[in-house]
Structure 1
Amino acid sequence: MYPLTTYHLHQIFNELDRNKDGLVSIDELMSLLTRLGLHAKRPELELLVGDDKALNLFNFIFFYQSLNNIIVEENRDQIKERHLESAEDDDLRKAFGVFDLNGDGFISCEELRIALSRLGLWDEKSCGRDCMQMIGVYDTNSDGLLDFEEFKEMMSMDSLESS
Structure 2
Amino acid sequence: MCVLKSNELHRIFEILDRDGDGYVSVGELDWLLDKVDVGTGPDELESIMGKKSLDLHEFMLFYNSISQQCRDEGGSKEGVDEERDLIEAFKVFDLNGDGFISCEELRSVLSRLGLWEEKSGSDCRSMIYEFDTNSDGLLDFDEFKNMMLRTNH
TM-score of the superposed pair, with normalisation by structure 2? 0.50
Q: CA deviation at 1:98?
A: 1.0
Q: Which has the higher helix share?
A: 1
Partner of 2:143: 150
Map 1:18-29 onto structure 2 (within 5 A).
none
Q: 1:134 and 2:133 equivalent?
A: no
TM-superposition CA deviations, 1:127-149 (whole Å, max 9, x none): 21111100000000000000011
- Structure 1 segments, 4+ long, off by >6 Å, are none
Structure 2: unaligned runs, 5 residues or longer: 1-74
* Percent pairwise identity: 63
Q: Distance in 2 between matches of 1:86 and 1:105?
A: 20
Partner of 1:99: 93
TM-superposition CA deviations, 1:5-59 (whole Å, max 9, x none): xxxxxxxxxxxxxxxxxxxxxxxxxxxxxxxxxxxxxxxxxxxxxxxxxxxxxxx
Structure 1: unaligned runs, 5 residues or longer: 1-79
Q: Distance in 1 between matches of 2:141 and 2:79?
A: 15
Q: 1:86 and 2:80 equivalent?
A: yes
Q: Distance in 2 between matches of 1:147 and 1:110?
A: 14
Considering only aligned residues, what root-mean-square deviation do their CA atoms show, in Å? 1.4
| 3-state DSSP of counterpart to 2:107 | helix
Supply the AA of the counterpart residue of 2:83. D
Q: 1:162 and 2:152 equivalent?
A: yes
Supply the AA of the counterpart residue of 1:106. F
Q: What is the total number of aligned residue pairs between the two structures?
A: 80
**Bigger relative contact order, structure 1 or 2 (CA pairs below 8 A, ≥6 apart):** 2
Q: CA deviation at 1:115?
A: 0.5
Supply the AA of the counterpart residue of 2:133. T
Q: CA deviation at 1:122?
A: 0.3
Map 1:46-125 onto structure 2 (within 5 A).
80-81=75-76, 83-125=77-119
Supply the AA of the counterpart residue of 1:162. N
